Amino acid sequence: MEESVKASEGLLEQIRRSFDCPGQDVRTYSPLTLAYIGDAVYELVLRTAVVDQGNRPVNELNRRVTRLVKAPAQALMAEALLPSLTEEEEEVYRRGRNAKSYTSAKNATRGEYHKATGLEALFGYLYLTDRMERVLELIRRGLEAAGLAQEK
């Protein structure tokens, strides 16, 4: 019985259970904290998709993913997805986009960097509220709408 319960849990719940994490009210997290975890979620999804397309040299895998995790690509995705976000999602995106960051992206404009941070904050929020299906849907739709799907 224990194994079937574990198998039906999502990754977030497995992590919380394994590391005895109580979980927090996600609404109290700063937008940059949400972007921090959202960046990792986004990269994990892309790395998984690229690796699942077949065994390749690591430098080729990295090259494919790197193009998609850069701020300009994420900014294109954010622009493409914005009209389809719910009110709640748009608010999280906006908070992330408007957050005061003390770092900047290489090879990106300030605007692209802020849009990418907003998108990452949204992915982080959705992940921490156990809505991974929505994260996957948005990533897939964003890549397609921004013309980036063929690059992965």
Burial class (CB in 10 A: 0-12, 13-18, 19+), 141: middle
Select from 110, 69, 77, 104 the least CA-distant residue to 93.
77
Q: Which residue blocks in the chain are alpha helix, DSSP H?
A: 2-8, 11-18, 31-51, 58-69, 71-81, 87-98, 110-128, 132-145
Select from 111, 138, 149, 146 the least CA-distant residue to 38.
138
The secondary structure of residue 80, as a DSSP letter, is: H
Residue 39 a catalytic site member: yes
* Catalytic entry in 20, 25, 39, 130: 39
Question: What is the set of active-site residues?
Answer: 39
